[in-house]
Amino acid sequence: MRIAVFQATSAVGRIDANLDALASAAAEAADGGADILVTPELFPTGYAPDRIHHLDGATVRQAVSTTAERSGIAVVASTVEQSDSGRFITATLFGADGTQVLHYRKSHLFGTEEAQFFTAGSALSSVVRFGDLSVALGICYDVEFPEYVRALAVAGADLMLVPTAVPARVSSTFDSAAVPGLIVPARALENTVAIAYANQCGTGFAGRSCIVAPDGSFAARAENEPTLIFADITSETIRGARADNPYLRSRRLDLY
């Protein structure tokens, strides 16, 4: 499977312009032979929880579905979802025919602003067969929790598709570049899963989107400029990593 990750800066509230940029990226990814495009967290609306939490993402998701169908490529997009049970940050995988394959509500909200305006999801992503791989979704902060990625690996995931909006710096003592630089590769290695991690870039964001192979190596990576990166991850890639790396087989479930 050829994976494309779109790194860009979206404009808060300029939904039509952001959707146009997403559509252009989908067309370019399709021209590059990609089977699937992963886009950043809340890219269609812009990432600003206090300013976009009231929006209903249903129309946005329909637009992304149309983009996937027109471009002939699967697309992962992150939107806002309003429901009777709360207001959620979500990610949705649309197939190349525009049908919804996976939909997930972010379960680990980051910081006080997300917690103020959104509700945490109460379930893991489902794992579905997509091409020759089993795929699952996560959103940004989710992947920073070992338990989240491990649970999906145990459930059969080969590939994690992760929209994200990691800031340039979390605090004076924690450089958020450590997330794509250290944490994402560690999650891939310790679980023998591939991870496609799509970040926003530009002022205020860390950029450094990446596609990490199941041995923890970078198959493709960006810096902090708008770009599209590609990598091929196959079932043979996953099987080879799992044959070489016994982490999942060596767990002591009698102890923990």
Query: Catalytic annotation on 41?
Result: yes
Q: Is the dihedral of CA 59, 60, 61, 65 positive or negative?
A: positive
46: left (phi over 0), alpha (psi -120 to 50) or beta: left
Collapsing DSSP to helix, strand or coil, 130 comes out as strand
Which entry of 28, 69, 81, 106 is annotated as an active-site residue?
106
Query: Catalytic annotation on 210?
Result: no
Query: Catalytic annotation on 28?
Result: no
Which entry of 140, 144, 201, 210 is annotated as an active-site residue?
140
Distances (CA, A) of 69 to 7, 28, 42: 21, 14, 20
| Closest by CA position to 10, among listed 59, 60, 54 | 60
Q: Which amino acid is at 62?
A: Q
DSSP codes of every residue in 60-94: HHHHHHHHHHHHTSEEEEEEEEEETTEEEEEEEEE
Collapsing DSSP to helix, strand or coil, 214 comes out as coil
Distance CA 45, CA 53 (A): 9
- Residues involved in catalysis: 41, 106, 140
